[in-house]
Structure 1
């Protein structure tokens, strides 16, 4: 778990662009893991923690707009996309998700499991994300 938390937090920060929101996502995922352990269920593997962060993030992002489109404007509490990783915030939420999973070193099969899709669809999403990233750079 010690090795997973920094990667999980980095993934959450890449998704949200906000330290505060990333920490809240990680806390929610860890709360789920603790609840499962306290109730006698199996503990969550690292992949499931990434999936929990992803699901919470995408549920919140869906309220704000389409998941396949880049945000049209920044939310009031977000900083503008500046700095070396600021371009990430200009990508559509699903594109940002698969690109961050790929960058974290997950295989296509594992990334697809975390994303809840087939490896074929995951590869297509990754190709679209790379194209968006090239256009944003």
Structure 2
């Protein structure tokens, strides 16, 4: 509904879903460039064939269903200009059960019901459930590593530490400020950064992450924010993984497992 209480038109409905489709696409590819390319191809398909919306339970399901059709038919390529993380991701994904990661992302990160997921991938809810279970097993057992947490709220920081530790990952430290985060990263290079955006001294988690990446290159990053749309604007750089506050433990576990899976190399503590 619009602010005036009137039903949204199709363009407005698609526009409201698009940032989250882009988030989903980047999580699949590990790359902003490739993810946005798939999202753009989806929009082009919608413009040329509005019947994609016919019979769909919602515009969101229709948009993701169109994306899925393009994604599966394209063989999930990654452009040569993309990052090493993106290239490694495609190699790792070849070992996964087909459609399992897609189901995991839609169900856990994007909040689709199993019925909606089944509609997107053209399967039954029971088949979607089987794929979800397979994805959890395959992702969680893939790799462990070192995690830097950037979070100024003590209760949330403790909660994230508990989730990370329970998954078997080592915690390099918890930073409350930009300078503190950079200092911790210099003391021990993390394999993954889990970061809030607004920090204790009004410094930026985004700036902290950019400082760290400037020193160390490709490190997967998960941002946790109450305003995900502020990170999904199409401007570079954008994170591949964005979790919305308030988050669930399962969302954090899923994002960490996938980020670790994407970046797993001989440098991680496998």
Query: Same fold per TM (> 0.5)?
Result: yes
Relative distance call for 1:19 and 1:51 in structure 2 (3 A) is same
Task: Measure how far apart 1:23 and its partner are.
Answer: 1.2
Number of positions where the alignment pairs a residue of Structure 1 with one of Structure 2: 121
Structure 1 match to 2:64: 50
> Structure 2-normalised TM-score?
0.39
SS of residue in 1 equivalent to 2:112: coil
Question: C-alpha deviations, 1:34-87, integer Å up to 9, x for none?
Answer: 2234xxx5757221111111121122227x7xxxxxxxxx986553449xxx97
> Structure 1-normalised TM-score?
0.73
Structure 1: any 5+ residue segments left out of the alignment? 65-73
Contact 1:98–1:111 (8 Å) recurs in 2 = yes
Alignment of 1:12-27 (within 5 A): 12-27=25-40
Q: 2:101 aligns with which of 96, 108, 119?
A: 96
Q: In angstroms, what is the RMSD of aligned CA positions?
A: 2.9
Q: Distance in 1 between matches of 2:124 and 2:85?
A: 31
The answer to whether the aligner puts 1:61 opposite 2:65 as a matched pair is no
Q: Distance in 1 between matches of 2:121 and 2:39?
A: 17
Task: Measure how far apart 1:109 and its partner are.
Answer: 0.3
Q: 1:108 aligns with which of 114, 130, 133?
A: 114
Q: Distance in 1 between matches of 2:99 and 2:52?
A: 29
Structure 2 match to 1:71: none
Structure 1 match to 2:49: 36
Structure 2 match to 1:122: 128
More relative contact order, 1 or 2 (CA 8 Å, 6+ apart)? 1
Q: Distance in 2 between matches of 1:101 and 1:42?
A: 19
Q: 1:6 aligns with which of 12, 19, 22?
A: 19
* Structure whose residues are more often strand by fraction: 2
Contact 1:108–1:119 (8 Å) recurs in 2 = yes
Task: Measure how far apart 1:3 and its partner are.
Answer: 2.0
Contact 1:87–1:136 (8 Å) recurs in 2 = no
Q: Distance in 2 between matches of 1:36 and 1:60?
A: 18
Structure 2: any 5+ residue segments left out of the alignment? 1-13, 144-270
Bigger Rg, structure 1 or 2? 2
Contact 2:42–2:63 (8 Å) recurs in 1 = yes
